[in-house]
Amino acid sequence: MAILLDMTRTHVPVLAGELIDILDPHPGDTAIDCTFGAGGHARLVAERLGASGTLVCIDRDPVAAQRFDEFAAEVPCETRFLAMEFSEGLRLLREEGLHVDLAYLDLGVSSMQLDAWERGFSYSYDAPLDMRMDPDQELDAREVVNEWDERRLANAFRSYGDERFARQIAREIVKRRRKAPLETTSELVDAIRAAIPAPVQREFGRGHPAKRVFQAIRIVVNDELGSLDQALPLAWDVLRPGGRLGVISFHSLEDRRAKRFIADRGRGCICPPDLPVCVCGRTPEAEVLTSRAVVPTPGEIADNPRAKSAKLRAARKVDA
């Protein structure tokens, strides 16, 4: 599928001021933006890095790659783009021996992706079941919806969407696809609606009954949790001592991973408490910069409702 670059579609960066305050980019620093998107965070970072700084941007979506060209021409620092999955990009940078002052990830999908109706990320538009961030990837939403067995679908809806009617929705999808494969987002929305009791649907108010299932399928199609698990240690490896890592997440399972990753590195001695002296010799690798997750202000949420579930966690790599 050809993906159009529509400059009217844009993305408002979330927790942008907070990310900059905490990661504190300096003139001449080297930074990695692992999730370039529309370059909202990258632009703020690039301005801080100035002409002597370097910013490496990564994104697996070709629309982000197209946006990058315009961005690179406008910002003062040296730039480079890696059109690939971020853990692959970080591995490549580590192999090149790059050491950076800051690295950050702003997870999930961009508004540009959600608003590109033809890509099937949104339940609000009728489109082919796709949801791939990287359109060259094989697995798409159509395959998940039509080929995964009922139990696997239900598990995904429950685990990644917190969907209370996971089993019923999975059963309805399997029943419908026996007659003909589900091809479009509207067919999927119809199946979801048919599986959720009408009185419950009325409770959704302005919410959408398909929101959780769409989120779950998107996470599965793009292996979002697996990518994050691989990326965090790689990003940590490329940080030089004193370097800062920031993670903005939109899902509790992502936030839990970021929180645990940072807490593990921030922990010193792990000897049993009844030992009189430390025998493990372990010292903290990280200074935790966010003792609790930083969340958007009510004002930011009012201006940009997509910020609602965002959480930022950050850490500094301590000097060896």
Ligand X SMILES: C[S@@+](CC[C@H](N)C(=O)[O-])C[C@H]1O[C@@H](n2cnc3c(N)ncnc32)[C@H](O)[C@@H]1O
* Closer residue to ligand X, CB minimum distance, 15 or 315: 15
CB of 10 to ligand X, least distance (A): 8
CB of 187 to ligand X, least distance (A): 25
The residues that touch ligand X, with contacts defined as CB under 6 A, are: 11, 13, 35, 37-41, 58-61, 64, 85-86, 106, 108-110, 133, 227
* Closer residue to ligand X, CB minimum distance, 136 or 274: 136
CB of 60 to ligand X, least distance (A): 4
Closest Cα to residue 286, out of 311, 258, 307, 254?
258
Ordered alpha helix ranges (H), the chain: 16-23, 40-49, 62-74, 86-95, 111-115, 141-147, 150-161, 166-179, 185-195, 198-203, 211-221, 224-238, 252-266, 298-303
Closest Cα to residue 31, out of 103, 94, 106, 105?
103
* Closer residue to ligand X, CB minimum distance, 133 or 156: 133
* Closer residue to ligand X, CB minimum distance, 196 or 310: 310
Sheet holding 239-249, edge to edge: 78-82, 54-58, 30-33, 100-106, 239-249, 311-317, 286-288
Which whole-number Å values give the CA distances from 24 to 12, 173, 239, 294, in the listed order? 20, 48, 14, 15
* Closer residue to ligand X, CB minimum distance, 25 or 108: 108
Secondary structure element (H or E) that encloses residue 272, with its range:
none
As to burial, measured by CB atoms within 10 angstroms (0-12 exposed, 13-18 middle, 19+ buried), residue 314 is buried
CB of 80 to ligand X, least distance (A): 15
CB of 194 to ligand X, least distance (A): 31
CB of 35 to ligand X, least distance (A): 3
Q: Which two tokens stand for residue 78?
A: 């040296």
* Closer residue to ligand X, CB minimum distance, 146 or 304: 304
Residues counted in the chain = 320
Ordered alpha helix ranges (H), 24-106: 40-49, 62-74, 86-95
CB of 227 to ligand X, least distance (A): 4
CA distance 260 to 288: 11
* Closer residue to ligand X, CB minimum distance, 63 or 174: 63
Closest Cα to residue 58, out of 74, 42, 36?
36
